[in-house]
Amino acid sequence: MRTIPAELVERYRQEGWWTPDTLGDLLARGLAAAPDAEFRVHSDVRPYSGTYADVERSARRLAAGLRERGVGPGDVIAMQLPNWMEAATSFWAAAFLGAVVVPVVHFYGQKELSYILGDAKPKVFLTAALFGHLKFDPAVVGEVPIVGVVGGNDPAVVRGNDPAVVGGDLAFEDLLADEPMSGVLATDPASPTLIAYTSGTTSAPKGVIHSHHTLVHETHQLVGQNQEDTGKQLTAAPVGHFIGMVGALLMPVLHGMPINLLDVWDPGKALALMKSDGLAIGGGPPYFVTSLLDHPDFTHEHLDGVRTVGLGGSTVPVAVTTRLKDLGITVFRSYGSTEHPSITGSRYDAPEAKRLYTDGCALSGVEVRLGEDGEILSRGPDLCLGYTDDSLTAKAFDADGWYHTGDVGVLDDDGYLTITDRKSDVIIRGGENISAVELEETLLALSGVAEAVVVAAPDEKYGEHATAVLRMLPGHGLPDLATVQAHFRAAGMARQKWPEELREVDDFPRTASGKVQKFKVRQLVAAR
């Protein structure tokens, strides 16, 4: 982890950005203040309807059961769960225990999961037996001491699974103690509370470490960004993304607002719930909003549920912000990353030109400057502690506490930032970071491929998608897209990483030294 300059630590404490609160303290106070608040999961697989108090009791029973098994402050609890009640139970239990939570997106494949579990070395892993492409595999968790599987008491799941292989616990429910744990276990607020894995420019996911200080401040940052009453929110962003987790399972608790989760993004179902239950959509990656507008069931009545929309987590095309504005929707943009979640943003009441065409100005406590090459550098009280890989930490953070984002931008005279390019070779599809290097390595294992370059191509729904540009060996023709995607499936690659477009070249544009000029490949793809 990085060393935070002493003067920054002192400033953050004096300004009240860093407090003695842990994540568990923050959560416990919020839950105690609104025990009767609604908690619902809208799911065809595992629906749920209850209250904060109901879910909190489940979380405290899980905390007590894990405590009996020796789990406490600083221990790592990994969870790969859809947007179900059990995800809240797991996250809240980890917070009460002072443990370090590792959220894993439910659609990550075995390759990504194996790496994350090997890197984080959790004491506990909580997952689902079966959901979509997620299927529990005992072999992947053989080194984890305690495993709980939602649906694990189903005979069809248990059959053929030796409990010894998964640490003796299979069913999630078996981990719950009869009596709930009271209070919150004390821990240092400067210590880690979350490790979020994100795919960057390397093939392996990067483990980003956040402390109680950084995550508590980030939560307050997000809450304060939009003070307008946005109504009862429907949340479909996966809680396996830590911002999705914070937005779904922590931010509403601070205001005692109802929690409504959707485990599969279905715009038709979302539109129906907006009418039947008066739910609202507050934003996220552009696709969540545009898919509603493009759905045949959408009517102008639904605009009451999308009055104010914050867009981020993916490339935000101007065409999208303009379209929403023309419908009378108040739109604002923001910029951040897993490492530094809230760097800039525009409030809902900022001037229209700033909201629509820039990524906002620096948020509370955040400093932004540009390097000589235009790279965006940031620091602030919600900046992470670094990576699980110390070598990555050394590359990304300097001695003065600045985070080198790898993104390029411009600052206007009013301090508003606009992202213009990315130094890092990352494709952002619907808020999910995809490593081009990882995809290129996988493509090179495909028969007949001599050279592979993967770049981002504009996508109306997701902001970007992966386009594979291939140079084939003599005598080999370009494979079709179905063959390529089958290859990625066999490699255990998560579906959202699969190339969605193929191009063939006789050769790539190169430097004098023979290095592929990727910016020219991007231009070629964008021009077609």
For residue 91, pLDDT beyond 90: yes
Mean pLDDT of 125-152: 89
Ranges 215-229, 256-270, 284-298, most confident: 256-270
Task: Please tell me the predicted confidence (pLDDT) of residue 227.
Answer: 55
CA 248-249-250 angle, to 5 degrees, is: 110
Task: Please tell me the predicted confidence (pLDDT) of residue 164.
Answer: 41
Task: Please tell me the predicted confidence (pLDDT) of residue 511.
Answer: 58
Residue 523 has phi, psi (to 5 degrees) of -60, -40
Task: Please tell me the predicted confidence (pLDDT) of residue 168.
Answer: 44
Q: How many CB atoms lie within 10 A of CB 169?
A: 22
Q: Which domains does the chain have, with CATH numbers?
A: 19-35+45-210 (3.40.50.12780), 215-422 (3.40.50.12780), 426-527 (3.30.300.30)
Distance between CA 348 and CA 130 in Å, rounded? 40
| pLDDT range class, residue 524, cuts 50, 70, 90 | confident
Question: What are the structure tokens assigned to 109, written together?
Answer: 């494949």
| pLDDT range class, residue 479, cuts 50, 70, 90 | very high
- Cβ atoms of residues 280 and 232 within 8 Å: yes
Task: Please tell me the predicted confidence (pLDDT) of residue 313.
Answer: 62
Per-residue model confidence as pLDDT tens digits over 2-42: 999 999 999 999 999 999 999 999 999 999 999 999 999 99
Residue 365 exposure: Cα atoms within 13 Å on the Cβ side = 26
For residue 348, pLDDT beyond 60: yes
Mean pLDDT of the chain: 88
Mean pLDDT of 339-346: 92
Mean pLDDT of 255-283: 90
195-209, 406-420, 422-436, 443-457: segment of lowest average pLDDT: 195-209
Distance between CA 185 and CA 48 in Å, rounded? 28
Q: Which residue has the higher pLDDT, 435 or 233?
A: 233
For residue 512, pLDDT beyond 70: no
Q: Which of 403, 396, 519, 525 is nearest to 464 (CA)?
A: 525
Query: Helix (H, G, I), strand (E, B), or coil: what is residue 130?
Result: strand
Residues of the chain with pLDDT > 70, as a percent, come to 91
Per-residue model confidence as pLDDT tens digits over 144-182: 999 999 987 665 554 444 444 444 447 899 999 999 999
Per-residue model confidence as pLDDT tens digits over 355-394: 888 899 999 999 999 998 889 999 999 999 999 999 999 9
What is the C-alpha radius of gyration for the chain, rounded to an integer number of angstroms?
Answer: 23
pTM attached to this predicted model: 0.82
- Sign, CA dihedral 149-26-383-459, equals positive
| pLDDT range class, residue 132, cuts 50, 70, 90 | confident
Distance between CA 148 and CA 161 in Å, rounded? 13
